[in-house]
């Protein structure tokens, strides 16, 4: 697993504000179906918003990190019940990729 710099996180959080939630993690937690769905979305978009179930903050953080590791992504931000995941898309065209500063 790799990490992002503070500048890269800020840029991705900014881009993530415009996105709609595309996947919801239910009470069952991170299942194989949820992980496959998020992985497929990350392959198309690189940046995905995921809604977490209601509960304590440590549960949401644990679920977001579990989902990130299951999809080989990085959890960019977790705000309330919404997690923002990023994975570099190798198959995307150059114009569709997010340009991250070094």
Question: Could you tell me if 97 and 7 are in contact, meaning their C-beta atoms sit under 8 angstroms apart?
Answer: no
In tens digits, what is the pLDDT along the chain, a chain of 102 residues? 578 889 989 999 999 999 999 999 998 889 999 999 999 999 888 899 999 999 999 999 999 999 999 999 999 999 999 999 999 876 655 555 566 666
Spatial CA neighbour of 19 closest among 90, 91, 86: 86
The full set of domains in the chain, from first to last, is: 6-88 (3.30.110.60)
Q: What is this structure's pTM?
A: 0.86
CA 25 from chain centre, in angstroms, equals 12
Paired strand residues for 82: 51, 79
């Amino acid at each position: 697993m790799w990490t992002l710099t503070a500048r890269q996180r800020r840029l991705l959080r900014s881009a993530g504000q415009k996105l709609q939630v595309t996947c919801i993690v239910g009470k069952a937690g991170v299942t194989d179906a949820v992980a496959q769905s998020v992985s497929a979305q990350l392959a198309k978009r690189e940046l995905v918003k995921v809604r977490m179930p209601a509960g304590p903050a440590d549960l949401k953080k644990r679920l977001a990190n579990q989902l990130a590791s299951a999809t080989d992504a990085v959890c960019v931000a977790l705000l309330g019940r919404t997690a923002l995941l990023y994975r570099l898309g190798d198959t995307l065209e150059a114009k569709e990729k997010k340009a991250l500063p070094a």
